[in-house]
Amino acid sequence: MTQALCQVLFLGLDPKNWHHLGDIYHYPLITTKIRSYDEFTSFFQDLIHQKYSHIIFTSKTTVTYFLQSLKNFNISLADVDVTVIAIGDSTRRLLTSNGIHVDLIADTASSESLVDLITHYSHQIKKVFYPCSALARTVIQEGLDDLKINYDKFVIYDTIFNKPMPLPNIKIFSKIVFTSPSTVQSFLEIWPTIPWEKEIIAIGPVTKAFLQKYR
């Protein structure tokens, strides 16, 4: 007899790499929205004019909106001499699948690991192009400041609370997957507490640490 799959509530944006956990019910508690192109036109103009030696990508969402922006501004990254840095393998895969070669990748998918990588290559860096979320942690910015590296950090997208209807019945799930602090905060906007009697899965050390605040 085939054993029934665990019922898994996935709260992030993209569950496709997590189906090994069980039978996924995707209930995205966050959505994202690109900001107006007018807000970062000048940064992409500087990119065209070779003002940056390196680009940092810290998430697949950033990559997605960066690619949209390239199309909007009619830019081919192949025409720009720049070193591409990715925070982790999933970000690298999305870049390479869109024809963008990744030169450097952090050992682990964390801001701290990315800062370690940047530190190692800091002598080669002239100026960094750093698109990010409005909710981006300050670790990378602080690292660049400490290393006295010139950079342009700009918000390319916002993360927005999402409450699709109908609400799922929490009782039927044996596992709940949180992908970011934003998904934790959004969960608590709807349900009063984290149901610790279930298997709670946090993707990444930052999400794990944030969840522990509500233990």
Q: Is residue 80 packed enough to be buried (19+ CB in 10 Å), middle (13-18) or exposed (0-12)?
A: middle
CA 190 centroid distance within chain? 23
Tens of pLDDT along 100-142? 999 999 998 899 999 999 999 999 999 999 999 999 999 999 9
Query: Does the residue 51 lie in any domain?
Result: yes
Are 174 and 149 contained in the same domain? no
Q: Which residues pair with 24 in a beta bridge?
A: 8
Are 137 and 194 contained in the same domain? no
Predicted local confidence at residue 17, as pLDDT: 86
Tens of pLDDT along 16-74? 889 999 999 999 999 999 999 999 999 999 999 999 999 999 999 999 999 999 999 99
CA end-to-end span of the chain, whole Å? 37
Predicted local confidence at residue 4, as pLDDT: 59
| Closest by CA position to 109, among listed 140, 134, 131 | 140
CB neighbours of residue 124 within 10 Å:
11
Query: Does the residue 1 lie in any domain?
Result: no
CA distance 183 to 30: 6
| Closest by CA position to 58, among listed 37, 82, 85, 33 | 85
Are 107 and 183 contained in the same domain? no
CA distance 177 to 181: 12
- What band does 6 get if pLDDT is binned at 50, 70 and 90? confident
Which CATH number covers residue 46? 3.40.50.10090
CA distance 150 to 29: 35
Task: Kindly give, in sequence order, each residue whose CB lies less than 8 Å from that of residue 30, ignoring residues fewer than 6 positions away.
Answer: 11, 12, 13, 159, 160, 161, 162, 180, 182, 183, 186
Instruction: Reply yes or no on whether the pLDDT at 2 is more than 90.
Output: no
Are 175 and 126 contained in the same domain? no
Are 90 and 181 contained in the same domain? no
Q: What is the domain range of residue 44?
A: 33-160
- Rounded percentage of the chain residues whose pLDDT exceeds 90: 89
Are 69 and 131 contained in the same domain? yes
| Closest by CA position to 125, among listed 43, 51, 46, 70 | 51
Structure tokens, 63: 């990559």
Contact between 51 and 44 (Cβ < 8 Å): no
Are 85 and 155 contained in the same domain? yes
CA 9 centroid distance within chain? 20
Q: Which residues pair with 157 in a beta bridge?
A: 34, 133
- Rounded percentage of the chain residues whose pLDDT exceeds 70: 98
